[in-house]
Amino acid sequence: MNRIVKKRVLAPNVNEYVIDAPLVVKNARPGQFVILRVDEEGERIPFTICDMDKAAGTVTLLVQEVGYSTAKLAKLVVGDGVADFVGPLGKPTDLSAHKNIVLVGGGIGTAVIYPQAKALFEAGRPAAVILGARNRELLMYTDEFKRAAKSLYIATDDGSAGQKGFVTDLLKELLEADRQRAKNGIDCVMAVGPMPMMRAVANLTKEYGVHTVVSMNPIMVDGTGMCGGCRLSVGGKTVYACVDGPEFDAHEVDWADAIARLSLYKETEQAHRCRLTDETAGGQK
Amino acid sequence: MAIDRSPRNRMPEQAPKLRAKNFDEVALGFSPEQAKAEASRCLQCKNAPCKSGCPVGVDIPEFLKAVQTGDFEGAGAVIGRANSLPAVCGRVCPQEEQCEKLCLRGRMDKPVAIGAVERFVGDFGLDKTPAPYDGPRTGKRAAVIGSGPSGLTVAAELAKNGVDVTIYEAFHRAGGVLVYGIPEFRLPKSLVRAEIDKLLRLGVTLMRNVVVGKTVLLDELTDRFDAVFIGSGAGLPMFMNLKGESYKGVISANEYLTRVNLMGAYRADSDTPVQRGRRVAVIGAGNVAMDAARTALRMGADSVTVVYRRGREEMPARAEEIHHAEEEGVRFELLAAPVEILGENGAAAGLLLRRTELSEPDASGRRRPVELAGSEFTIGADMVIVALGTSPNPLIKDSYPAIETTKKGTIVVDGRGMTSVDGVYAGGDAVTGAATVILAMGAGRKAAAAILERFKGQ
């Protein structure tokens, strides 16, 4: 059984869990995800690996309570175990072809860009990071990003931290400034957050012709390429986020389609398998 | 011995109207008397053609003879020599295409109900603890990827011959298609669990929640084990790329059945949600389509219609499944090709269909449907279940490119079930594409024999 070895509250209704998972962490790389079941009647819920400690054999997840299953998870305390824990799933992120990268995290999407920021920092080419949240309280991991990022920019809807506005406002400023310079321009943006945010980033970077990667968070069941629930339309083709993703070229994603599918189980109270298209719900697939 | 002239015995079944509203098993099984009576109809042919129709080679006349005398345990031992999952096979094998098709009794009146008797024997043996293997150990270790029909068969065959076996299962529960695909009313999950428990008592180790190619890599397994068997199953569901396929209410049969069966969404206490359609259309006419259609009825649909672009003769599902579905009230819209999924506010509302007529047989040997211009019509549907088969799972191939695959993505094996990598074997749907439980078990048996042969030579 995979036990919770550490748990802390990061923001209202957002918990960080450090979970003992030596088998999962062994081959895990940034960008991959896990699926867990809280108990024997639990549904299978996917979460991006936010951090890992290969020596300690632990995986860190940031989980926002958005429904029945995540609320059930939130009831667990250090020492408790989850019924099932499987991963790493999906393809790892490959940003090796890019030199000047901007990472954009909205709400709990922060959990997904953190391992990227850390990996790029460790590789000696730290990225610029933009974080967005509704307010100061909902910002997460700012200290960690301060350490790992080349520069950190923050936007909140109410202006209680950083600049008042959206992540796209900050990104636009960076892209504009970048345009003035002749060389070493921004060659990749990776954005993770609620789908409307990712769509807005995609629309913006398209104007600037900058390659953009998003981590998609559709509904999933098995996560291994069996059920087809996580299908998306990317570049006019049907792809599966669990085995072909979770990351895709943002300019190829059919956003209207993806956003419509996210709300499949919205009516069912206990059906919050996916994170909802809520402002602060970016990181849970 | 005088020939028993009595007619073929039929298993009692739940009445169609009643069963269409519950998930209890449809067929209720023989009583000991019925099993004995049915087994007595066997002519005990010397050359026993039935045996050649069995993909795993069960000695059918011998086990029927034991049943006839009331020696059910002995019958179980005879089946067990060739088939480690008799209670499963007795239920889901297409016997009418295999053993029973070749049964000579069928020329007199009707073939012996071999499947129904096998089911009885399998059920009888379910709670009997098999003697743990205590013969000589080979000192060899084998890894089995996937705990579906082929993997379970390989594991049982190897364990019974003194090999240390570890099964790696990606899901939280063992059984593969037996637990996520085939519905409770056709194959109770308690029974699958009992069969697997029997196997584990043989000394097989089961590792759940391990995805080979992700959690552990195939070359880690080839390093640690003397042989590896890949039985990873069929894979991703196919869609048609029709307009409207991303509407709410459009779902693959794999996902629908997984939610209902494996995740138990038919029970009130399961956390897993499932869409519940009132008017359900199922596209496709194989066994999976029948399972999905009958499941939808039980989940409370007012009407369920199977849409198929060919005719009744061409439907790939077992005759018995089609018959059961029809009895329960599933409707069939045959010679109709889906053109578009119609929607309202992003949710499925119906299907636009076009009439077809059949022309010459195509590569599959079935008559090819030709759509008739101007013949469009619509049917209402707030849920559309797509059951058009699967394409192979890319997971293992992606992580281990040395494994040779076909253009379609199925794994290439030689006559002994070995892949292009020495010591790595494969079988079941991962090799054949979606097929039957028993064919996967046959492939498992063949690969297990080859692995044992290989170990002998080492």
Average pLDDT, chain B: 92
User: Is residue A54 over pLDDT 60?
Assistant: yes
Encode pLDDT of A199-247 as tens digits.
999 999 999 999 999 999 888 888 888 888 888 889 988 889 889 989 9
Report CB contact under 8 Å: B210, A83.
Answer: no
Close Cβ partners of B50 (under 8 Å, ≥ 6 residues apart): B60, B61, B99, B100, B102, B103, B112, B114
Task: Provide the pLDDT for residue A266.
Answer: 61
Same domain, B230 and B262: no
Report CB contact under 8 Å: B394, A226.
Answer: no
The predicted model gives A127-144 an average pLDDT of 93
Q: What's the total number of domains in chain B?
A: 3
Task: Provide the pLDDT for residue A273.
Answer: 38
Instruction: Note whether B143 and B216 are within 8 A (CB).
Output: no
How far is residue B120's CA from residue B67's CA, in Å, rounded to a whole number?
A: 9
Which two structure tokens, joined as six digits, stand for B269?
């206490």
Same domain, B243 and B382: yes
Give the CATH number, domain containing residue B440.
3.50.50.60
Query: Among all residues of chain A, which has the CA nearest to that of B252?
Result: A228
Tell me which DSSP letter residue B261 carries: I
Among partner residues A85, A228, A263, which is closest to B237 by beta-carbon distance? A228
User: Is residue B245 over pLDDT 60?
Assistant: yes
Query: Among all residues of chain B, which has the CA nearest to that of A242?
Result: B395
Band the pLDDT of B433: cuts 50, 70, 90: confident
Alpha-carbon gap: B246 to the closest alpha carbon of chain A (Å):
7
**Structural domain range at position B202:** 141-235+392-457
Band the pLDDT of A6: cuts 50, 70, 90: very high
Is the residue at B3 inside a domain? Answer: no
How far is residue B257's CA from residue A79's CA, in Å, rounded to a whole number?
A: 34
The angle subtended at Cα B310 by Cα B306 and Cα B312, nearest 5°, is: 70
Among partner residues B208, B241, B271, which is closest to A68 by beta-carbon distance? B271
Instruction: Note whether A108 and A198 are within 8 A (CB).
Output: no
Report CB contact under 8 Å: A260, B273.
Answer: no
Report CB contact under 8 Å: B248, A268.
Answer: no
Same domain, B453 and B428: yes
The predicted model gives A121-127 an average pLDDT of 93
Same domain, B270 and B356: yes
Task: Provide the pLDDT for residue A268.
Answer: 52
Report CB contact under 8 Å: A89, B171.
Answer: no
Query: Among all residues of chain A, which has the CA nearest to that of B249?
Result: A264
> Which of B75, B101, B126 finishes a domain?
B126
User: Is residue B455 over pLDDT 90?
Assistant: yes
Q: Which domains does chain A have, with CATH numbers?
A: 2-89 (2.40.30.10), 101-215 (3.40.50.80)
Would you call B134 an interface residue with chain A, using a CB distance cutoff of 8 Å? no
The predicted model gives B264-288 an average pLDDT of 89
Is the residue at B136 inside a domain? Answer: no
Task: Provide the pLDDT for residue A184.
Answer: 65
Band the pLDDT of A269: cuts 50, 70, 90: very low
Would you call B270 an interface residue with chain A, using a CB distance cutoff of 8 Å? yes
The predicted model gives B435-457 an average pLDDT of 92
The predicted model gives B19-31 an average pLDDT of 94
Report CB contact under 8 Å: A228, B236.
Answer: yes
Is the residue at B407 inside a domain? Answer: yes
Instruction: Note whether A277 and A110 are within 8 A (CB).
Output: no
Task: Provide the pLDDT for residue B208.
Answer: 96
The predicted model gives B323-330 an average pLDDT of 96
Query: Among all residues of chain A, which has the CA nearest to that of B238?
Result: A228
For chain B, give the number of residues: 458
User: Is residue B417 over pLDDT 60?
Assistant: yes
How far is residue A2's CA from residue A81's CA, in Å, rounded to a whole number?
A: 5
User: Is residue A278 over pLDDT 50?
Assistant: no
Same domain, B171 and B95: no
Band the pLDDT of A265: cuts 50, 70, 90: low
Same domain, B340 and B252: yes
Average pLDDT, chain A: 88
Alpha-carbon gap: B298 to the closest alpha carbon of chain A (Å):
19
Alpha-carbon gap: B239 to the closest alpha carbon of chain A (Å):
8
Report CB contact under 8 Å: B214, A41.
Answer: no
Q: Which of A76-80, B160-164, B365-369 has the lowest mean pLDDT?
A: B365-369
The structure's pTM equals 0.90
